[in-house]
Amino acid sequence: MTIKIIPSGSVSSPSGFQACGVKAGLKRSGQPDLALLYCEVPATAAAAFTSNLFAAAPVLWDRKIIAAGQPVRAVLVNSGNANACTGAAGLAAAEAMATQVAAELGLQPQEVLVSSTGRIGVQMPMDIISAGTRLAARALSREGGIAASEAIITTDTRPKHRACQIELGGKTVTLGGMTKGAGMIAPQMRLCTPQATMLAYITTDACIEREALASCLAASLDQSFNRIIVDGDTSTNDTVIALASGLAGNPCIQSGSPDWEKFQTAFRELVAYLAKEMVLDGEGVTHFVELNVSGTGTDQDARRIAEAIARSPLCKTAWFGHDPNWGRILAAAGYSGVEFEPAAVALDYQGLPIVRNGQGTDTPEEKQSEALQNREIRIDLRVGNGSGKFTIWTCDLSYEYVKINADYHT
């Protein structure tokens, strides 16, 4: 199967989707802060949300709609205000946002999803949202996907978007996506729901049954957003929404069918690309680290070790400094709570042998440090002969991260 990447592709690439990004005035910087995504026909929808107890008001609104299983027509996304920890007024604001989009576009409020990202604990300024929504409803276009991806970012340094095409049943099926991330990024494996101050939207013109779309999303999360850690904080607003217009005219995809497998492959590739982009553009990130842990009894144990390392400030600062201080990686594995034989441990940086049998090799320190100067670093840790394994995508911890977060006012 060939997956064709569309240059400058976005959420508006698949047939039936329009999008835009406008300046509503929520961000002090004056940058675009309100995105609208619209489907010209009722779209099949699937979604996953944060497992944080303080789920934000828009998450509570969306969950209800997704649980009802009805088609979706639009998604309004604002940056600059998270509408989290805002109580009954916050819930009313989320509903009002959906209601206003519905009024502007001739829809029912129950057909409109809402996402928010930004500072927690501040009531949504509804006058700004109202004016912005009117503006957005008029700005929708089939070329507006990139503008939308620019309006959803907060501390991200660049918009993150992509689209691709595959052939299914003689028809061309297009998938598009956008995401934002930067801070409060960490898997929360417990509930297998997505993570972090991350928003992601996937569109497609494939015809696909609702359950098939939901299982496709679920299967992709563990290969993408659920395996990334930037800072280890899990947000109140995490949202991944997938919408399918069905306009490609392909035979409708059913769960587990050969077409589902193909579609899932393209979907997963798209989502994995966006997740990796999110880490690369994490707050203050100078290195992307692919951390492969193997040799445990179970995948879950490998994940616990990988998480301990990816969350360790000492490992993350060493990566920032190209310091091959492998003792910190072993120490983090050693306090992860997973039992293994220290004397059996092996560690590689970029394929270079760093530790064998729990002790340092004679690879010169300059060579080790050199390996850590790549922007993307591969680290392999084997702790035994078990078949358990897990990969995490993570990053370093830099001055810039501290700077961004010591004074964060959007």
Alpha-carbon distances, residue 45 vs 72, 111, 126, 330 (angstroms): 6, 10, 27, 43
Should residue 236 be labelled a site residue for a second copy when binding is judged by CB under 8 A? yes
Q: Do residues 81 and 124 make contact, with C-beta atoms less than 8 angstroms apart?
A: yes
Should residue 298 be labelled a site residue for a second copy when binding is judged by CB under 8 A? no
Q: How many helices (H) and strands (E) does the chain have?
A: 11, 15
Should residue 321 be labelled a site residue for a second copy when binding is judged by CB under 8 A? yes
Structure tokens given for 357: 């049998």
Instruction: Select from 41-49, 97-105, 173-181, 335-343 the region that touches a second copy (CB under 8 A).
Output: 335-343
Rounded CA separation 217/214 (Å): 5
Q: Catalogue the active-site residues.
A: 197
Should residue 260 be labelled a site residue for a second copy when binding is judged by CB under 8 A? no
Instruction: Select from 37-45, 167-175, 186-194, 245-253 the region that touches a second copy (CB under 8 A).
Output: 186-194
Should residue 273 be labelled a site residue for a second copy when binding is judged by CB under 8 A? no
Nearest approach in angstroms of CB 240 to a second copy is: 17
Q: Do residues 10 and 176 make contact, with C-beta atoms less than 8 angstroms apart?
A: yes
Site string for a second copy, 99-128 (x = CB under 8 A): --------------------xxxx------
Q: Which amino acid is at 371?
A: A
Bridge partners, 46 (sequence order): 242
Decide: helix, strand or coil at residue 175: strand
Subset of residues 365 to 384 that bind a second copy, contact rule: CB under 8 A: none
Should residue 27 be labelled a site residue for a second copy when binding is judged by CB under 8 A? no
| Tokens 């996402």, residue located | 115
Bridge partners, 35 (sequence order): 21, 77
Helix axes 258-280, 210-221, angle to 10 degrees: 40
Nearest approach in angstroms of CB 341 to a second copy is: 9
Taking Cα atoms as reference points, which of 374, 381, 309, 297 lies closest to residue 344?
Answer: 381
* 116, 264, 325, 394: which one binds a second copy (CB under 8 A): 325
Rounded CA separation 334/41 (Å): 54
Nearer to a second copy, 251 or 321 (CB): 321
Nearest approach in angstroms of CB 170 to a second copy is: 46
Should residue 386 be labelled a site residue for a second copy when binding is judged by CB under 8 A? no
Q: Do residues 196 and 233 make contact, with C-beta atoms less than 8 angstroms apart?
A: yes
Q: Do residues 353 and 252 make contact, with C-beta atoms less than 8 angstroms apart?
A: no
Should residue 293 be labelled a site residue for a second copy when binding is judged by CB under 8 A? no
Q: Tell me which H or E stretch contains 65.
A: helix 57-68
* 8, 300, 359, 374: which one binds a second copy (CB under 8 A): 359
* 144, 145, 181, 183: which one binds a second copy (CB under 8 A): 183
Rounded CA separation 95/146 (Å): 26
Interface with a second copy: number of residues (CB under 8 A):
64
Instruction: Select from 5-13, 136-144, 241-249, 397-405 the region that touches a second copy (CB under 8 A).
Output: 397-405
Q: Which residues bind a second copy (CB under 8 A)?
A: 51-54, 82, 84-87, 119-122, 183-184, 186, 188, 190, 231-236, 311-314, 317-318, 320-321, 323, 325-328, 330-335, 337, 339-340, 342-343, 355, 357-360, 397-399, 401-403, 405-409
